[in-house]
């Protein structure tokens, strides 16, 4: 079955450590996204990538890093510089067909990773 | 910048009640509009979408109509079930001008819906 797989589902990190969240998709989508979800705040965009070897900062990129070496994979590293990393992290992907107005596409989401700093 | 505003929750209803969750947006250009649903501990699933003015998206008994004149995309369901208990997100998405597509989703803050038997 096609879809997006995030791992692990739960992750615990000690203060001062870097951790990497995995996101893999087999939908052949060009674009991939990382969102952070906090209670009562909706989803905020951390990073996005439209093509391999290219990525852009979103609204809250400080303390995070990403790579896009393969079309299928978009791992997110939460660094020790992120002051408040405890959150639910969601990865998404979409076809990017271009055009104004945008084509009739939507983003598909993984099941999320809950990161807790202990 | 673009923004989405949803009605504040939580919303608590009895089974078979009528549901409305309000959503209004601010955006330039021609966004597509979406409703996503999130069940406890899971990611987001697309519920319905509309890509131009006056389009109606529908799925699983839920409906929403893209109203450009009021910049709204309110979610409705005539008879809710306990299984509809979840968090509902309104979102917009648009491409950039000049033919370069950047499909960033802008989300509302989410509305928690609880349905009691």
* pLDDT of residue B99 exceeding 70: no
* pLDDT of residue B97 exceeding 60: no
* pLDDT of residue A52 exceeding 70: yes
Tokens describing residue B1: 């910048």
* pLDDT of residue B100 exceeding 70: no
pLDDT for A24: 97
Tell me the pLDDT tens digit for each residue of B20-52: 999 999 988 778 899 999 998 888 999 999 988
Shortest CB distance from A106 goes to which of B30, B46, B89?
A: B46
User: pLDDT-derived band of residue A98, with 50, 70 and 90 as boundaries?
Assistant: low
Question: Regarding predicted confidence, which is higher, A118 or B77?
Answer: B77
Which chain B residue has its CA at the smallest distance from A38's CA? B109
CB-based contact A100 B95, cutoff 8 Å: yes
pLDDT for A115: 95
Cβ contacts of B96 on chain A, cutoff 8 Å: 100
Q: What is the signed CA dihedral for A47, A107, A37, A16, rounded to 10 degrees? A: -40
**Dihedral pair phi/psi, residue A2, rounded to 5°:** -75, 145
Identify each DSSP E strand in chain A by its residue range. Answer: 4-7, 10-13, 19-25, 31-37, 43-51, 54-57, 64-66, 76-78, 87-94, 108-109, 113-117
Percentage of chain A lying above the pLDDT 70 cut? 92
CB-based contact A42 B108, cutoff 8 Å: yes
Question: Regarding predicted confidence, which is higher, A117 or B77?
Answer: B77
Shortest CB distance from A99 goes to which of B31, B95, B110?
A: B95
In order of A7, A68, B21, B109, the CA distances from A23 in angstroms are 7, 11, 31, 24
pLDDT for B101: 44
């Amino acid at each position: 079955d096609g879809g997006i797989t995030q791992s692990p589902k739960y992750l615990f990190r000690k203060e001062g450590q870097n951790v990497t969240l995995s996101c893999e998709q087999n939908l052949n989508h060009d674009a991939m996204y990382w969102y952070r979800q906090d209670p009562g705040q909706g989803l905020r965009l951390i990073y996005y990538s439209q093509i391999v070897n290219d990525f852009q900062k979103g609204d809250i990129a400080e303390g995070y890093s990403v790579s896009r070496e393969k079309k299928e994979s978009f791992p997110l590293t939460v660094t020790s510089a992120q002051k408040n990393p405890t959150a639910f992290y969601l990865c998404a992907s979409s076809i990017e067909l271009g055009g104004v107005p945008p084509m009739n596409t939507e983003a598909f989401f993984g099941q999320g990773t809950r990161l807790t700093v202990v | 910048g673009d923004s989405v505003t949803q009605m504040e929750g939580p919303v608590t209803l009895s089974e078979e009640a009528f549901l409305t969750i309000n959503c209004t947006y601010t955006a330039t250009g021609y966004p597509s509009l979406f409703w996503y649903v999130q069940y406890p501990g899971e990611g987001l699933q697309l519920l319905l979408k509309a890509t131009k003015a006056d389009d109606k998206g529908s799925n699983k008994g839920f409906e929403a109509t893209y109203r450009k004149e009021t910049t709204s995309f309110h979610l409705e369901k005539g008879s809710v079930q306990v299984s509809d208990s979840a968090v509902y997100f309104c979102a917009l998405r648009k491409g950039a001008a000049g033919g370069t597509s950047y499909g960033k989703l802008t989300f509302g803050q989410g509305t928690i819906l609880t349905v009691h038997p």
